[in-house]
Chains A and B, each alone.
Chain A
Amino acid sequence: MSTEQQQTRPVLEIDELSISYGGRPAVSNVNLTIQPGEIVGIIGESGSGKSTLAHAILGLLPSSATVSGRALSLAGKNLLGADGPAFRSVRGPGAAMVFQNPMTTFSPLHRLGDQLTDLLWRGTSLSKEEKRQRIVAVFRQVGLSNAAGRLSNYPFELSGGMLQRVAIAAALMMRPSLLIADEPTTALDVTMEAQILHLIRELRAEAGVAVLMISHHLGVIAEICDRVVVMYAGRVVEQGPVEAIFANPTHPYTKALFACEPALIAPGVNRMPVIDHEALRRHADERKTA
């Protein structure tokens, strides 16, 4: 394969992907492509299948889930129908995940250094010293000073923001082409959130890593995403460049969602707007019959 092709090959390609839990659909006919270095945000209704989609990409779904579709490929490797081992070979170099709560990412009982070398590095052929050097380098990349000291810390000795940096470092050590972050800043104060968002932007610029970012915070999405995907009831109802979607949302759900954004509502109102799902459903039915 020529280098040119490599550059243009999407990091993630999802074509008509559907996922159900014990026969109950959670994600229906989703299409999503992410290019190298792109930051894509997913917003949408709670329970609309955002985490399910993320877990499917990483092969982390429970056994009760069934996945079907035309394509699910990560870094050029097809994963549809893949079993555990195939997924594990992609996870790491292909994609890595950062979860919402950094406190639950790590075991409280072991030093961070041991957790990072052991857990994340099972199966690699690097020597212990090489692993250590790689960890220190990645710590520096995410702005964690005194890497050696950090490695001997227990998780509870670090603030949430610092721990989330360690979690991002852990994800990056695998040199993934796609970083998936499921609400990575909800558990942080906004000063740390701003720093983490800045870090993600820098990682994209420096390492060219693509990012899939799930968030309910429209400010966070507006701040760092190139493109936005809007999910509602298991479907992608709208996707496009972030500027276009924010300036001119076209799907009724997206419009209704933006109308609920508290940052856009003048303080002092007594009641917050909520989405009238019945009305949305009626609208959808009318469109179907039209």
Chain B
Amino acid sequence: MTKQTPILEARGLGIAVGTGGGIFFAGRKLDIVMDVSLSLRPGKIVCVVGESGSGKTTLGMALVGLTPPTTGEIRFDGAPLQDFSKASFRPIRDKSALLFQDPASSFNPRQRIGDIIAEPRRISGEGATTSEAIASLAQLAGLPSSLLSRFPHALSGGQARRAAVARALSVVPRLIVADEPTAGLDVSVQGGVMNLFLDIREKHDTAFLIITHNLAVARHISDELVIMYLGRVVESGPTAEIFRNPQHPYTKALLDSEPVPDPRHRRNEPPVIGEVPSIFARPSGCEFHERCRFAQSLCRSEAPRETAGANGQRVRCHFPIGQAVGEPALAIA
């Protein structure tokens, strides 16, 4: 494996929003994403997994400059951005594609699907916009060309998702941030989208950040996994290692919760109980402690720092699974 310069790199990224306008929570700053570091390398696929509301979409948007980060550093092709202004993000925006989580809402309802898909090509001047070219693009994403003359409201959920995939890939970027690209797709179409990503990566050495709740997709497609909880990365590392040996209790809970496609193996109880805390009221210490089976008193008082665990995994836990229990893990400075 060659250690290429990452296309995009984030260090200690934090995103806070002012709960502005003074209507709801006047003047409070809300931390949505905290201390996130990750590298997106050419030809590598990183999957971000985590509970709903853990800041995945916010992170993805921030990486391509759609939500300004508050703290931290971003490097593009090795060079740090001077600041987080729109102008500084310009080079990243020009070279990346974002696939929105809710495709239908990102479409102009008065534009036909074919035009929606062709738009990035028209704007950039790259690639053909003839109806044959757009039809073959749609076909790559598994979208029948008979749907191209329709308006967005007349598509099923999965058809809209495929249209969004076709549009995002109409101009081949160096970086693709895809937010839930397979949600709402049947498993065959889902496989088609994954194959499409793999083809693009092979042909163009594109870097991918894929946000997904689907563990099977993450397992098949990604080289690295980033697990988020309440805005922080709680575990990251090579996908195969994390599936083989999850070290953070939340990761373990996630993997144990996945229902298996076999009605003879049902669970009587959910593996983890308890609500995900609100980011308006973050728990003290480790933010997972209210739901953690392994929590000890230290966990309630002190927030764990990220440590380097075995097999290239990084874990934010006082008592990582598979490491000596009872001894807090050594924090690396």
Using known A-B contacts A161-B52, A273-B191, determine if residue A186 contacts B263 with beta carbons closer than 8 Å: no
**Across-interface contacts of A158 in B (CB, < 8 A):** 278
Chain A residues 142-192 with CB under 8 Å of chain B are 145, 154, 157-162, 183, 186-192
Q: Which of the candidate stretches A81-89, A116-124, A259-267 sits at the interface with the other chain?
A: A259-267
Chain A residues 85-118 with CB under 8 Å of chain B are 100-101, 104
Give CA–CA (A191, B293) in the complex, Å: 14
**Across-interface contacts of B195 in A (CB, < 8 A):** 271-272, 274
Q: Encode contact with A along B141-170: 1 for CB under 8 Å, 0 otherwise.
A: 010000000000111111101100000000
Does any Cβ of A come within 8 Å of B123's Cβ? no
**B261, A261: Cβ atoms under 8 Å?**
yes
Using known A-B contacts A222-B262, A223-B259, A275-B188, determine if residue A192 contacts B156 with beta carbons closer than 8 Å: no
**Across-interface contacts of B198 in A (CB, < 8 A):** 270-271
**B220, A269: Cβ atoms under 8 Å?**
yes
**A216, B275: Cβ atoms under 8 Å?**
no
Give CA–CA (A264, B220) in the complex, Å: 11
B54 to A: closest C-beta gap in Å: 8
**A192, B271: Cβ atoms under 8 Å?**
no
Give CA–CA (A195, B161) in the complex, Å: 27
Selected contact of A46 from candidates B184, B243, B257, B267, CB within 8 Å: B184
B258 to A: closest C-beta gap in Å: 5
Give CA–CA (A117, B158) in the complex, Å: 33
Using known A-B contacts A222-B263, A273-B191, determine if residue A192 contacts B186 with beta carbons closer than 8 Å: no
Selected contact of A219 from candidates B186, B254, B260, B271, CB within 8 Å: B260
A101 to B: closest C-beta gap in Å: 7
**Across-interface contacts of B294 in A (CB, < 8 A):** none
**Across-interface contacts of B271 in A (CB, < 8 A):** 191, 194
Does any Cβ of A come within 8 Å of B129's Cβ? no
Does any Cβ of B come within 8 Å of A197's Cβ? yes
A50 to B: closest C-beta gap in Å: 8
Give CA–CA (A51, B272) in the complex, Å: 31
**A274, B188: Cβ atoms under 8 Å?**
yes
Selected contact of A187 from candidates B155, B183, B254, B263, CB within 8 Å: B183
Give CA–CA (A246, B280) in the complex, Å: 43
Give CA–CA (A157, B276) in the complex, Å: 12
**B276, A159: Cβ atoms under 8 Å?**
yes
A147 to B: closest C-beta gap in Å: 13
**B51, A192: Cβ atoms under 8 Å?**
yes
Q: Encode contact with A along B94-121: 1 for CB under 8 Å, 0 otherwise.
A: 0000000010000000000000000000
A126 to B: closest C-beta gap in Å: 29
Does any Cβ of B come within 8 Å of A237's Cβ? no
**B157, A218: Cβ atoms under 8 Å?**
no
Q: Encode contact with A along B184-208: 1 for CB under 8 Å, 0 otherwise.
A: 1111111110110010000000000
Selected contact of B187 from candidates A100, A242, A257, A269, CB within 8 Å: A257
Does any Cβ of B come within 8 Å of A217's Cβ? yes
Does any Cβ of A come within 8 Å of B270's Cβ? yes
**B275, A162: Cβ atoms under 8 Å?**
yes
Give CA–CA (A270, B194) in the complex, Å: 10
Does any Cβ of A come within 8 Å of B219's Cβ? yes
Give CA–CA (A187, B240) in the complex, Å: 24
Give CA–CA (A128, B273) in the complex, Å: 33
Does any Cβ of B come within 8 Å of A44's Cβ? yes
Does any Cβ of A come within 8 Å of B79's Cβ? no
**A216, B192: Cβ atoms under 8 Å?**
no
Give CA–CA (A271, B24) in the complex, Å: 48
Apart from the given pairs A189-B52, A263-B260, 15 other A-B contacts in the complex at a CB distance below 8 Å: A44-B186, A46-B162, A51-B157, A160-B51, A160-B52, A186-B183, A187-B183, A190-B258, A216-B190, A218-B187, A222-B262, A222-B266, A225-B263, A263-B258, A274-B195
Q: List 25 A-B contacts (CB under 8 A).
A: A158-B278, A159-B277, A160-B51, A162-B275, A189-B49, A189-B54, A190-B254, A190-B258, A191-B250, A191-B271, A192-B276, A193-B213, A197-B259, A219-B261, A222-B263, A223-B263, A243-B264, A256-B188, A257-B188, A260-B190, A271-B195, A272-B190, A272-B194, A273-B188, A274-B191
